[in-house]
Amino acid sequence: MKALHPARRRPAPLLAAALAGLLLPLTGAPHAEASHVPERTERAGDCALPGTTGWTDEGHAIDRSVFQRPTGTRKVGMIFVDFPDAPATESPADDAAQITPGADWLWQASYGKAWLAISQHQHWVRMPRNSTDYGFARGLSHEAHEAYIKDAVTAADPDVDFSAYDMVYIVPTKNASAISFTPTYVYEPGTAGVVADGKRIKWAVTFGQDMWHWGPKLVGHETVHTFGLPDLYAFDPGDDVHRFVGGWDVMGLISGAGPQYFAWESWKLGWTADSQVVCRASAGSDTVRLTAVEYGSGTKMAVLRTGPTSAYVVESRRAARADTGLCATGALVYKVDSSVETGKGPVRVMDARPDATPAQGCRPLDDAPYRAGESFTDAAAGVRIDVLKAGAYGDTVRIIKS
């Protein structure tokens, strides 16, 4: 869902996880071959793109005065609200069960780099206004959203110490149909915002009735907006709201077949290290053995920089871990442009089979990966990517920039 940042845009300037002992199952290479890292011909940073749109874009540097740190333990306070026109009749635990498994999903998808410690305050807090008074609709403004959060925090404050948390989850009763969708709140620096127990509430997710449809992976989408990632689906629906990335990456289609974060996103967030990135910013070629992004170790992606704000990325995808439901595997190629705003296609997947009919239960682009013996070419950009070989845990590719 869309992160509701203020209308006023500001340009973005340029811990080790506490669970380090648990990382081996997530980060260890499936076998020795998959952990091979080739010699670097160029620095990974040569392929990092600058942010140009302000707020959430695909630029590599993220403004940590605005967005929270995406590694280590994030402490989350979860409160439950009902309304004069929609009193709760279910247990808060019923609602929490739709959300809390998302902490485990995010931990796995981040290679054990991010953990959400969710503290549930399992009693209903009555909001001061009817659910229909809060104006939840796709045009919900930052100010109206902030007012909703302020009412919820104020109502819960007598029983909750908000100073103990990095962010807040606000969960409405299932009976409040007017609280229809789940937006993310990011505080606008320099404004009054919401303060409780001497702590400014800088990040919040206000869940809506769509949580009963999307389930726990909604946590992986919304929480990561507070880390600084953009939406990858189209805000203008057009022919297909998911025409840019299909079912790849939870920041696009939450219920997609391939919800694991793109390697580019993981690199931006520090979940993938510079040493796991092969960069080609000048003319030349590299042969790269890629370990599938579902695993944490090995080389995660090869990047061909094509301009001041643009690059092509190739990564390997396998039906494992977060991606067990993949419709197709192989080398996934996509274009990144950090000058493109969230909702307008800052990432676009290149389709190896644009004329093929998707298999039953699959969407357009779900069969996009390139297989061994296939190539992607953008002659105008001077880019060619050849898939040389495919294995159980990754692909070997040759990247060429002329």
Per-residue pLDDT, 41: 63
d(CA 110, CA 103): 11
d(CA 121, CA 236): 37
Strands annotated E in 232-353? 277-280, 284-291, 301-305, 310-317, 330-337, 347-349
Determine whether 111 is exposed, middle or buried from the number of CB atoms within 10 Å of its CB (0-12, 13-18, 19+).
buried
Distances (CA, A) of 136 to 181, 182, 208, 313, 370: 7, 9, 9, 37, 42
CATH number of 72-225: 3.40.390
pTM, to two decimals: 0.91
Whether the Cβ atoms of residue 389 and residue 316 lie closer than 8 Å to each other: no
Strand partners, 123: none
d(CA 195, CA 209): 26
Per-residue pLDDT, 79: 98
Per-residue pLDDT, 138: 64
Per-residue pLDDT, 152: 98
Per-residue pLDDT, 25: 41
State phi, psi for 53 to the nearest 5 degrees. -95, -15
Tell me the three state secondary structure of residue 336.
Answer: strand
Q: How many CB atoms lie within 10 A of CB 363?
A: 18
Structure tokens at 219: 């946590």
Q: What is the per-residue pLDDT across 288-330, written as a single tens digit (0 to 9) for each?
A: 999 999 999 999 999 999 999 999 999 999 999 999 999 999 9
Which has the closest alpha carbon to 373: 359, 351, 352? 352
DSSP 321: G
Per-residue pLDDT, 139: 77
**Amino acid at site 146:** E
CATH 3.40.390 in the chain is located at: 72-225
Per-residue pLDDT, 19: 31
Intervals of the chain under pLDDT 50: 7-25, 31-38
* The dihedral formed by the CA atoms of 206, 162, 122 and 149, expressed in degrees to the nearest 10: -30
Per-residue pLDDT, 396: 98
Task: Return the ∠ at Cα 186 (arms to 194 and 244), rounded to 5°.
Answer: 160
**For the chain, percent of residues with pLDDT exceeding 90:** 87
Per-residue pLDDT, 16: 32
